[in-house]
Amino acid sequence: MSTVVVKSVEINKGLSDNLFDPNKVEIKSPVDMQEMMKRMMQEQGADSPGD
């Protein structure tokens, strides 16, 4: 077990607010949800050996 003492915290220092605005996010390629779901299911199957 370990203990950590935090003496100061700086939040979002130097980061632009535009990075956190979902309306300003640019998607470079269209998202294929069916393909994404297939990949997730394949990865999930690979992660859980021998059900």
Provide the token pair at 2: 């370990």
**5 phi and psi angles, rounded to 5 deg:** -110, 120
Which residues of the chain fall below pLDDT 70? 47-51
Q: Which pLDDT score is estimated for 51? A: 52
Provide the token pair at 5: 């003492």
Q: What's 14's DSSP letter?
A: T
Chain centroid to Cα 4, Å, comes to: 26
Q: CA-CA distance, 17 to 47, in Å (whole number)?
A: 37
Provide the token pair at 31: 């998202």
- What is the tens place of the pLDDT at every residue in 13-24? 788 887 888 888
